Amino acid sequence: MPKGLRLQLRDITLLDELGLVGLLDTETIHARHFPKDKHGTYCRRRLQLYHHHGLTQQVHRSITSTTRPGRIPMVHRLTPAGAELVEHETGVCPPQFARSKEPKEHTIQHRLGVAKIMLAVNDACKLHALQKPEWILDYDVDHGVPIGAPKAQRFRLYKEFSGRDGKRVALSPDAASLLYLPVTTPAGEKTQHGLALYWEYDRSTETHSQIIEQKLPGYDALLGHGAYRKLWPPAQAVRVLFVVQSEQRLANLSATLLRQPDANAYYRLAVARNIDARHVLAGKIWRTPGGDHRQILG
């Protein structure tokens, strides 16, 4: 316990959440953990206190808006000391904490997007009384593997396959998760159905040619080989989910995905602003490449 810091349950919950998703901005933390703090003053003071005691790292953003007044956005990461504290209080070491230098701006924006998706899905599972999902992020490594080992051995999500033309293709999703869904068998027995989800947070920075040439061949191989079952043995089904920034991007990307085998069976797309706890699982915010509106489970 850091000297001079009296921890509350909210502090442990906040730090534990930060250690799950990797990083969060002040705005998101304020909305989730200090909803009654109208102007965010207490929230900022508490975050500054975490930083002062070495529990979090503050990452200063390099991009600001000249059209939106207010404070420069601040991003927060859990430190090794913060992770140790969380493990002491919860019995579980958080998977994500600062092990390296501050991420670059484009990496921050991307990881913030993925983090908010993770929180929405976790909140939705709690809302629907589902088991908490398992998550793997694109930079998660097998810690027993040497740093100099090939990427396919070191990074848990990075995979290499033999493509349709015999050439090697690589796949590096932004995140993957496993949902446990309760089902009843024809015999009336209650069991669980595993659904593997591969996530792509699209910031419209990749061209359609890049997606076609660099991303989709890997997913084609993953789905064709059923390789998701090696990562998630309980999975009986799989979806590849693209979260995009606009309806126009969704329409354009849908046309690209339609070229893939069984595209409407495996691929789903949604606009980022619609991703929240109420809708991410139960709402028909997801679309097949062919344009049908579905729930994430449909």
| 78: alpha, beta or left? (left if phi > 0; alpha if psi -120 to 50) | beta
Mean pLDDT calculated for residue range 48-69: 78
Looking at domain 1-100, its CATH architecture is: Orthogonal Bundle (1.10)
Per the model's pLDDT, the better-predicted residue between 107 and 80 turns out to be 80
Distance between CA atoms of residues 182 and 190, nearest Å? 7
Convert the pLDDT of each residue in 161-184 to its tens digit: 876 667 889 999 999 999 998 887
Q: Is 90 exposed, middle or buried (0-12, 13-18, 19+ CB in 10 A)?
A: middle
Does 297 have pLDDT greater than 90? no
Q: What is the mean pLDDT of the chain?
A: 90
In the chain the first and final C-alpha atoms are separated, in Å, by 46
Which of 64-68, 129-133, 284-288 shows the lowest mean pLDDT across its residues? 64-68
- Strand ranges of the sheet holding 24-25, from the earlier edge strand across to the other edge: 24-25, 74-78, 56-60
Does 64 have pLDDT greater than 60? no
- Predicted pLDDT of residue 72: 64
Distance between CA atoms of residues 132 and 147, nearest Å? 31
Per the model's pLDDT, the better-predicted residue between 196 and 149 turns out to be 196
Helix (H, G, I), strand (E, B) or coil at 23: coil
Per the model's pLDDT, the better-predicted residue between 103 and 97 turns out to be 97
pTM of the entire structure?
A: 0.90
Q: Tokens 């989910």 appear where?
A: 241
Convert the pLDDT of each residue in 262-288 to its tens digit: 999 999 999 999 999 999 999 999 999
Please report, rounded to a whole number, the percentage of residues in the chain having pLDDT higher than 90. 67
Convert the pLDDT of each residue in 210-238 to its tens digit: 898 889 999 999 998 888 999 999 999 99
- Predicted pLDDT of residue 167: 81
Give me the helices (H) in the chain, please.
9-21, 26-33, 41-52, 80-90, 105-127, 151-154, 208-210, 216-225, 228-231, 247-257, 263-266
Domain assignments of the chain as residue spans, ordered by start: 1-100, 104-298
Per the model's pLDDT, the better-predicted residue between 183 and 40 turns out to be 40
Distance between CA atoms of residues 58 and 76, nearest Å? 5
Looking at residue 141, the DSSP 8-state letter turns out to be B
- Predicted pLDDT of residue 60: 80
- Predicted pLDDT of residue 168: 87
Smallest CA-to-CA distance from 241 within 206, 209, 286 is with 286
In 168-233, the DSSP E strands lie at: 168-171, 175-184, 190-201
